[in-house]
A and B are shown apart, each in its own frame.
Chain A
Amino acid sequence: DTGVSQDPRHKITKRGQNVTFRCDPISEHNRLYWYRQTLGQGPEFLTYFQNEAQLEKSRLLSDRFSAERPKGSFSTLEIQRTEQGDSAMYLCASSLPGVDLDEQFFGPGTRLTVL
């Protein structure tokens, strides 16, 4: 499968614990995005990387959230001291800049449940 992959697919944790998610983009894609989706809502932008540089962060990304893409390939999203409000689907997407509109391809997501 040459699409975007995410690991784990599901994570259940207790409030206050730290969690880390991984995203592997499509191999030649240099842009990588993280989104969060809660039930009944569309995905909301969290952050964006071009290669290893984090170029934009949403106000949704509190100090408890950190994302990295150290070698410009895979990315990790860490949430420290999880809260029940962090329960959501965390989606990763990647794209390759093109002449016109570059399509973002989404991974299957990591569903986080904070008890």
Chain B
Amino acid sequence: RKEVEQDPGPFNVPEGATVAFNCTYSNSASQSFFWYRQDCRKEPKLLMSVYSSGNEDGRFTAQLNRASQYISLLIRDSKLSDSATYLCVVTAGFQKLVFGTGTRLLVSP
């Protein structure tokens, strides 16, 4: 079983739609959680950190459920520029990042 599991998609949504991604992680000792965004053939970039209390950054909302070892990302009012791969990431000691395979999002006009 992979340490971080995500649905690879692709998720095809129209502009303005709300879309949600989920991921699960297997290591209950994981301390830190993130969503990274990766554009085609580019490096990953931090989208947002994820806290137990949940956090919001504009159109993006991230939630963490430690008991279920489950992380989510909600994108409201999707824009064409949101098209990318969204990587669910947890840490495993020494700040090592463990990435999921990523969920691909395609936003169409």
Q: How far is the CA of A101 from the CA of B35 in the complex (A)?
A: 13
Number of interface residues of A (CB under 8 A): 24
Contact B44 A102 (CB under 8 A): no
| A109 contacts partner chain B, Cβ-Cβ < 8 Å | yes
Among B49, B93, B94, B101, point to the contact of A101 (Cβ < 8 A). Answer: B49
Min Cβ gap B13→A in Å is 21
Q: When the two chains form their complex, are residues A43 and B44 in contact, meaning their CB atoms are under 8 A apart? A: yes
- Contact indicator per residue, chain B 87-109, by CB within 8 Å of chain A (1) or not (0): 10100011111111110000000
**A24-B12 Cα distance, complex, nearest whole Å:** 37
Determine whether B59 belongs to the interface, using a CB cutoff of 8 Å to chain A.
no
> At the interface, is chain B mostly helix, strand, loop or mixed?
loop
Contact A107–B43 (Cβ < 8 Å): yes
Q: Tell me if A's interface is mostly helix, strand, loop or mixed.
A: strand
Query: Is A95 on the interface with B (CB-CB < 8 A)?
Result: yes
Kindly identify which residue among B8, B46, B98 contacts A103, using a CB–CB cutoff of 8 Å: B46
CB of B46 within 8 A of CB of A42, answer no
A42 x B94 contact (CB < 8 A): no
Are A40 and B95 closer than 8 Å at their CB atoms?
A: no
Q: Which of A45, A56, A104, A107 contacts B98 (CB 8 A)?
A: A45
Residues of A that sit less than 8 Å from B by CB: 31, 33, 35, 40-45, 48, 55-56, 91, 93, 95, 101-109
Interface residues of B, Cβ cutoff 8 Å to A: 4, 8, 32, 34, 42-46, 49, 87, 89, 93-102
Q: List 8 A-B contacts (CB under 8 A).
A: A41-B101, A42-B4, A42-B102, A43-B44, A95-B95, A105-B46, A106-B44, A107-B43
